[in-house]
């Protein structure tokens, strides 16, 4: 789960599926006029993404980890959930 502040900053929380441990992360993002963009998370992980024009969903893909990771994401709130 992550919160995007609309100014290029991301804070989030995730759970490692191998260990079950939760951790926090940060990142930066940009969204261009055509709704495409890029996210860089702490540790140098990059994702290209497309944000729907109304902001309700995001499609993402990463190919720089030695494997392709892709999928959808959806907005669940307009409020900051992770702080």
List C-alpha distances in Å: 38 to 15, 21, 59: 22, 27, 11
* 64-80 confidence digits (pLDDT tens): 767 788 888 887 777 66
Q: Return the pLDDT at 39.
A: 92
* 17-63 confidence digits (pLDDT tens): 889 999 999 999 999 999 999 999 888 888 999 999 988 899 999 87
Query: Residue 39: is it exposed, middle or buried by C-beta count within 10 angstroms (0-12/13-18/19+)?
Result: buried
pTM: 0.72
Q: Return the pLDDT at 64.
A: 76
Q: Return the pLDDT at 81.
A: 65
Report the C-alpha gap between 45 and 54 in whole angstroms.
26
Q: Return the pLDDT at 28.
A: 95
């Amino acid at each position: 789960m992550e919160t995007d502040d609309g100014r290029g900053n991301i804070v989030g929380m995730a759970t490692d599926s191998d260990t079950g441990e939760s951790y926090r992360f940060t990142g930066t993002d940009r969204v261009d006029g055509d709704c495409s963009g890029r996210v860089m998370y702490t540790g140098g992980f990059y994702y290209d993404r497309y944000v729907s024009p109304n902001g309700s969903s995001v499609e993402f893909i990463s190919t720089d980890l030695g494997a392709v990771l892709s999928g959808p994401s959806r907005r669940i709130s307009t409020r900051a959930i992770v702080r």
